[in-house]
Structure 1
Amino acid sequence: MSNKLTAYLESQMQALKLKGMLAHYQEITEKASQNNLSYTEYLSLLFEEELKRKNEGTVKTKINKARFPFIKTLEEFDFSFQPSIREKEIISLSSLDFVEKKENIIFLGPPGVGKTHLSVALGIKACMAKYRVVFITAQKLLEELLLSAKDGSLLDKLLGYSRLNLLIIDELGYMPVTKEQANLLFRLVSMRYEKESIILTSNYNFNEWGGDIFRPGGSRGHN
């Protein structure tokens, strides 16, 4: 291939934003020549690289938009360190059937058992599957909803969160929740119920939720 033709093809790929093709067309051309590939097979390999590049870009964008506090995977989780966590059940969740079925997941337990790690890991899996995901602490979410209720933008805020395929709410109970905040949270959960999925983490068991989490005033923190 002449230098002039090469420059022309590269300029056309740049203009069309075919970054995958641009990065790999030379090696694919060489491979096609060595293996006597047909034109169709050659084009198939080029489009395969382009699609791969675009998919990687889409996943990266979704992970950035999800606002994870860190990047952790299930493969990095040490199940031997937390024998109370059933590995098979967690691995089964990674199939994301619960997202497809619009089901919710709740991780309960004391600080340090890995609830946030697991929720982030499942969130990243969902991003890789092209789902819309957002991670947010319960405290920040409640602050956003309360502020929106005061400035008249509550409906827009609720609709924004209700359209996500997966909403991860971390650390419910880290700070006490006022009655007004509880009502706003209930409204959001109701809008998402059986329509989209939620992963929620809390340091408290269900029998502690009424008095310990949903109460006025004060502040409380956990290590």
Structure 2
Amino acid sequence: MNSLEHKLTSLKLGRVKQVYSDWIERARETGMDYGEFLEELLSEELLSRQENQLKKRLHSASFPFEASLEQFDFSRHPELKRSVILRYFDSSFVEKAGNLLLIGASGLGKT
């Protein structure tokens, strides 16, 4: 392990350690300046950490299986309008930190 890799390990920059050589090559090829190089490298580390946090949260939630909105069968519940539900998955709803309350009997897929 070289000195840089040792420092990256000590600083717990695991993703940077994995990809820094690729980013160095990319920076050479594109003429990327130092600031842009550093920003891109750290953005990749941040994204990796966010993905890991999400994975840990999903695992600790102990969901019985992984599900997505694309898998939801709207035909089984015609009272749920797909266009209305999808409106709440738009980034603007999340950015506004809006609240959504789903009310209904057990087994309807509110979770």
With normalisation by structure 2, the TM-score equals: 0.79
1:31 aligns with 2:26: yes
Matches of 1:108 and 1:92, distance apart in 2: 22
More strand by share: 1
* Number of residue pairs aligned between Structure 1 and Structure 2: 109
Q: Give 1:95 deviation, angstroms.
A: 4.2
1:77 aligns with 2:72: yes
Cα distance change on mapping 1:77 and 1:10 into 2, 3 Å: same
Give the alignment's Cα RMSD to 1 decimal: 2.6
Aligned to 2:103: 106
Q: Deviations over 1:181-203 (max 9, x none)?
A: xxxxxxxxxxxxxxxxxxxxxxx
Query: SS at the partner of 1:43?
Result: helix
Query: SS at the partner of 2:86?
Result: helix
1:52 aligns with 2:47: yes
Contact 1:20 1:53 in 2 (8 A): yes
Aligned to 2:6: 11
Q: Percent identity?
A: 28
Superposition map of 1:113-124 within 5 A: 115-116=108-109, 118-119=110-111
Amino acid at match of 2:74: F
Query: SS at the partner of 2:103?
Result: strand
Larger radius of gyration: 1
Q: Give 1:92 deviation, angstroms.
A: 2.1
Unpaired runs of 5+ residues, structure 2, are none
Amino acid at match of 1:75: E
Unpaired runs of 5+ residues, structure 1, are 1-5, 120-223
Between the two structures, name the one with larger relative contact order (CA 8 Å, sep ≥ 6): 1
Q: Give 1:83 deviation, angstroms.
A: 3.2
Matches of 1:93 and 1:43, distance apart in 2: 35
Q: Deviations over 1:95-147 (max 9, x none)?
A: 484993455221337x5xxx23x52xxxxxxxxxxxxxxxxxxxxxxxxxxxx
Q: Deviations over 1:152-173 (max 9, x none)?
A: xxxxxxxxxxxxxxxxxxxxxx
1:64 aligns with 2:91: no
Contact 1:20 1:52 in 2 (8 A): no
With normalisation by structure 1, the TM-score equals: 0.43
Matches of 2:21 and 2:71, distance apart in 1: 36
Superposition map of 1:196-207 within 5 A: none
Amino acid at match of 1:57: N
